[in-house]
Amino acid sequence: MRKQILLKGLLPTLVLFSTQAAALPFQSIDPRSMAMGGTGVASGTSANAAFMNPALLSVAGDDENFSVELPILGVRVSDPDDLLDEVDAYQDTNIEANLTNSIDAFDAAVTSGNPAAIQAAATNVSTAADAMVTQLEKFTNKPITAEVFGGVVVGIPSKKVGASLMLNGYLVGSGLVDFTAADQALVQGIVDDAAATGDGSDPTALATNTAVADQVAGTEDVVDKLTSGLEGRGAVITEIGISLSREVNIGGHDVAVGITPKYVTVDTFDYRVDVNTADFDSDTGKNDYSDFNFDIGAAKDYGNGWKAGAVVKNLLANDYTTVRGNVIKIEPQLRVGASKSNDLWTLAADLDLVENEPAGFESKSQYLGLGGALDLWGWLQLRGGYRHNLSDSDTSVASLGFGVSPFGVHMDVGAAFNGDEVAASFQLGFRF
């Protein structure tokens, strides 16, 4: 049936193209960072400094020079409550068809005038309607969330003046199925009236049920009365920025400081599409905004393999109102990190110092990331990590990845996963 097809097909579309964002989680979706548990504030390279910490442009290693990173692509999808599995179950058990057919069979039994057949048919209607209520209830408050990222970076590291030009765009957010109280009452009413007719306590209850009577009369099928819908709110965010950094002496200590002024466009989306409706227009529910913002960071190379860093992303808080009156917030994100490395290995840890409010439907986020890397033969890097959400103990994620870098060309791949989340990222770059 049309509604069943839309329920399964349109939900992922809403998640990926009309996602939701409130206080955005810290973006760490480039493959090196992803593979190392989301770390990078102190352990990142100058090539991706614009994403993690602009000050890293001035604590670059001696082997880091001019770099071009094109493309950088990443995606993360999380389905912690198995919403897609429940949608599959709704589809595979033919719940709507069973209810429609059982009501038609009940009408045929009533026409026959056979009391036993009427009661048996009513019992079948009760079973089919009860199965629909049970399955629709499983959709309630079960978000599916996604991040999609793409970027390009050109960087020139230097202790005197490091510079980087970056362009990136990303979507962050979630969507869910809204099982309305009206649908709950409609289908539960059929369950109750069918049960009363089936046990003989009220032989006319099901026949006089308004929704059933409309289907029998050919006016409107019961399943076409459902008002439950698919919801998705969010933002597509594009940033164009120039990162600048310099090493300065503060109290006798050389510390790198960096800043990324950036022009930001925010396209908010806010949809609610009835599951019975085939109309879907990507321009509906859209608001456009533009702003300037800043990232600032600091980093210290202690000269013995240890590095420390801190960054504040989106220094200026901004609120963006959607067409349905919901507010999307882009707020400052504060993260610190430390790393230890030598010619063979790197260990890193990052911590969010502030908790990010949920992006609408998902859990709050405050990440602790741990990661490590091995550099073998100067051209192969093996990486692994672990990211733990201090705000939600059920969302810890393991990660791994690798990089190959022969003759100044490098390719990085990262992946992260647990039972509810899967993510992948790819980057191709050239360093001279």
CATH code for the domain of 154: 2.40.160.60
Specify whether the CB–CB gap between 40 and 390 falls below 8 A.
no
Whether residue 274 is predicted with pLDDT greater than 80 in this model: the reply is no
**153 & 264 share domain:** yes
The parent domain of residue 104 ranges over: 85-138+180-225
HSE at residue 369, side-chain half, CA atoms within 13 A, is 36
3-state secondary structure of 56: helix
Question: At what angle are helices 2-17 and 83-92 packed, to 10 degrees?
Answer: 160
Which among 143, 137, 147 is positioned nearest to 181, based on CA atoms?
137
Specify whether the CB–CB gap between 430 and 407 falls below 8 A.
no
CA–CA distance, 119 with 131 (Å, rounded to integer): 19
**128 & 238 share domain:** no
User: Would you put residue 407 in left (φ > 0), alpha (ψ -120 to 50) or beta?
Assistant: left
CA–CA distance, 409 with 404 (Å, rounded to integer): 8
pLDDT digits 0-9 by tens, 412-432: 999 999 878 899 999 999 987
Question: Does residue 229 or residue 13 have the better pLDDT?
Answer: 229
Tell me, what's the pLDDT at 9? 44
High-pLDDT (> 90) share of the chain, %: 59
**275 & 415 share domain:** yes
Residue 379 phi, psi dihedral angles, 5° rounding: -135, -5
**152 & 216 share domain:** no
Whether residue 285 is predicted with pLDDT greater than 80 in this model: the reply is no
Residue 247's CB: how many other CB atoms inside 10 A?
21
**What angle (nearest 5°) sits at the alpha carbon of residue 264, between those of residues 263 and 265?**
130
**189 & 302 share domain:** no
Whether residue 152 is predicted with pLDDT greater than 70 in this model: the reply is yes
pTM of the full predicted structure? Answer: 0.82
Dihedral sign of CA atoms 274, 279, 280, 286 in order: negative
CA–CA distance, 136 with 133 (Å, rounded to integer): 5
DSSP β-ladder status, 367-376 and 380-389: antiparallel
**10 & 102 share domain:** no
- Residue where the block lists tokens 């058990």: 93
E strand map for 357-396: 367-376, 380-389
Q: Which helix (H) or strand (E) holds 263?
A: strand 253-274
Q: How many separate domains does the chain show?
A: 2
**194 & 149 share domain:** no
**218 & 190 share domain:** yes
Out of 162, 196, 225, pick the residue that ends a domain. 225
Residues contacting residue 281 through CB under 8 Å, at least 6 positions apart:
none
pLDDT digits 0-9 by tens, 261-271: 999 999 988 88
**116 & 35 share domain:** no
Tell me, what's the pLDDT at 61? 67
**243 & 368 share domain:** yes
State mean pLDDT over 22-40: 83
Tell me, what's the pLDDT at 91? 75
**174 & 186 share domain:** no
**117 & 167 share domain:** no
State mean pLDDT over 193-221: 95
CA–CA distance, 211 with 272 (Å, rounded to integer): 24
